[in-house]
Amino acid sequence: MNDRRTRPIQAEILRTRPMSVTRKMAADFPRLRAMAEQRGLTLHHLGAGYPHPEVSSPERYIAQKEAYFSHLARVRDPESPDRARRELMRELYNYGDTLGPRSTREAFARVYGHDFGFSMDPDRLIPTMGATGGIALVCSLFERYGGPLAYIVDAPTYTGFVSRASLYQKARFYSVPMDEEGPIPGLFRAQVKKAREDGNFVPLYYTVPDGHNPGGISFSQARRLEILDIVREEGLLIAEDAPYTYISYEDEGARPRPFVALDPGHTIHLFTASKIGLPGPRVGFLYTEAGAVVAGDEKVSIKDLLVIESAGDLLFHNPESLLGFEAYLMDDRLEPRESLWPVAATKNAVYGENRRILLEGLQTWLGDYPDRFSWTCPGAGFFTVFTFKGGQVRTDAAFVEKLVATYGVVTIPMFGFYPEDAKERDPLAGLDQLRLSFSYNERTGDGRRQDMLDAVRAFAHAARIESGLPGID
């Protein structure tokens, strides 16, 4: 590692792999916490998009898994269930299939297809290590092209995708500004055209349409259809990152349908169980019905190409985690669930209440200053984007640190979520915005409610003072 010949290579790798803004904040958090504690401040969590402990306790998940394993053993051999369970566990801890247990894929396809109104083929599901594993798999596939690649992304966009895709040094990002409904169609088409004129292969558009992270919106149904029309005309795929499909605050009839339900032939759908289940097991699925033309004009399934890629990258998925998630798809009687929406309802009762407290608090303490402040009203997910108007406040790293050290308020700056081309168009992109999360604090029940109220009050107090207004009495 001390060989001077390796240093230019290492330096180039470091320059071309951006660190997630949330990772930077997490790395700096112990120092910021210590600063707040030294000043006697209570720490208010509006930064991390973590699942709340009130609805993500592992005890029930583990108990359901254990009960389901015993149930499978009894079904397999009613006369000798103990022996059958030993055989089952031996299978789970042995080499498995790249696609994992078929029963898990069948259970998930049945429930997910029912919940979002389309027929999902279990043979087209590929297990992944959460949605992040799906991102890595998709990027790895298209990097085999070998030439310049361009990805269409939103402005702002999830930095986890940018970080992984940037490992390929011939990758570039062409970002599309958004309004309250999603990416602006005319600018979307223009970016596809520009990326191709610049000599790039443009395989896909990456987005988080439901509970956009970090954008704090959900795409309207009409905008999804407009984007789909462009994607079909331009011959692109949509990589739909979907961690928040079930974390929805819309009425059932008003929920927009995911891209995969609208057109699975042009969508690579990335599901993760981290929000509806638990993050630790890292259960995810990639689904697509898309095809591609390869050398010799041969038509092949994208799914088949991704299976080959998956086998080369992660040959064996964890069958115990997958079967544990299958147990989660069963009800209390260990019968197959028809839907996961009842499970989501218990989680959304907490997240929805936190969301209400945050939005009502912002309106109460900042709503009289529409010329100074604005914020998004998310229909799904964990985040709202807060904007300081008028150019008086610059939300750079120093400002975010000041919020912690002076007011005890933890937030995430938005400037790190804007790709480089967005910053070239507007050097101040994101420097008037913060991402506020309402998903996490450390207590439950009334304590959680009070903590959320205290957090939004502390933030509003800080926002007013930093904008030159009187603080909250």
Identify whether 130 is part of a domain: yes
d(CA 153, CA 186): 14
354 and 452 housed in the same domain: yes
Structural domain containing residue 154: 88-328
Instruction: Evaluate whether residue 72 is within a structural domain.
Output: no
**What confidence score (pLDDT) does residue 147 get?**
96
Domain boundary among 283, 299, 328: 328
Residues 310 and 284 in one domain: yes
Examine the fold and report which residue of 274, 305, 328 is the final residue of a domain before the chain moves on. Answer: 328
Number of domains the chain is built from: 2
Query: How far are the Cα atoms of 113, 145, 207 from residue 200, in angstroms, in the given order?
Result: 35, 11, 19
Write the DSSP assignment of 261-303 as a string of letters.
Answer: HH-GGGEEEEEESTTTS-STT-EEEEEE--EEEEGGGEEEEHH
| 191/317 same-domain check | yes
Calculate ∠ Cα 168-228-108, nearest 5°. 75
Distance CA(195)–CA(192), nearest Å, equals 5
Instruction: Note the pLDDT of residue 296.
Output: 64
DSSP conformation letters of 131-172: HHHHHHHHHHHHHTT-S-EEEEEEES--HHHHHHHTTSTTEE
**Domain end: 265, 296, 328, which one?**
328
The answer on 227 and 156 residing in a single domain is yes
Instruction: Judge if 262 and 319 occupy the same domain.
Output: yes
Render the burial of 294-311: b for 16+ CB within 10 Å, e for the rest.
Answer: eeeeeeeebbebbbebbe
272: Cα separation from own chain's centroid: 8
Q: Residue 314: what pLDDT?
A: 61
291 and 171 within one domain: yes
Domain CATH code at residue 43: 3.90.1150.10
Q: What is the pLDDT of residue 315?
A: 59
Q: 265 and 148 in one domain?
A: yes
Kindly state whether residue 382 falls inside one of the protein's structural domains: yes
Asked, for residue 114, whether it belongs to a domain, the answer is yes
Q: How far apart are CA 38 and CA 281, in angstroms?
A: 36
58, 278 Cβ separation under 8 angstroms = yes
Kindly state whether residues 199 and 241 are assigned to the same domain.
yes
Residues found in the chain:
473
Per-residue pLDDT tens digits for 181-193:
999 999 999 999 9
Least Cα distance to 312 among 166, 165, 162, 141 occurs for 141
User: Does any domain span residue 68?
Assistant: no
Kindly report whether the peptide bond that precedes residue 214 is cis, defined as omega within 30 degrees of 0.
yes
* pLDDT by 10-residue block (mean), the chain, 473 residues: 45 49 66 77 89 92 93 92 91 84 95 97 95 95 95 97 96 98 98 98 98 97 98 97 97 94 98 94 95 76 90 73 95 95 96 98 98 97 97 95 94 96 97 97 95 98 97 92
Tell whether 97 and 149 lie within a shared domain. Answer: yes
DSSP state of 210: S
Phi, psi of 285 (to 5 degrees): -140, 140
Cβ-based neighbours of 395, under 8 Å, separated by 6 or more: 388, 413, 414, 415, 430, 431, 432, 433, 434
In-domain check, residue 140: yes
Say yes or no: 371 and 298 in one domain.
Answer: no
CATH, residue 183: 3.40.640.10
**Beta-ladder partners of 336:** 330
Do the Cβ atoms of 208 and 201 come closer than 8 Å?
no
Query: Is the pTM for the entire model greater than 0.85?
Result: yes
In sequence order, the 6+-apart residues with CB closer than 8 A to the CB of 161 are 135, 151, 153, 206, 239, 241
Torsions phi, psi for 389 (to 5 deg):
-95, 160
Predicted pLDDT at 240: 98
Residue 471 lies in a domain: no
**Could you give the CA distance from residue 368 to residue 228 in angstroms, rounded to a whole number?**
39
**Pair 207, 266 in one domain:** yes
247 in a domain, yes or no?
Answer: yes
Amino acid at 122: P
Residues 29 and 135 in one domain: no
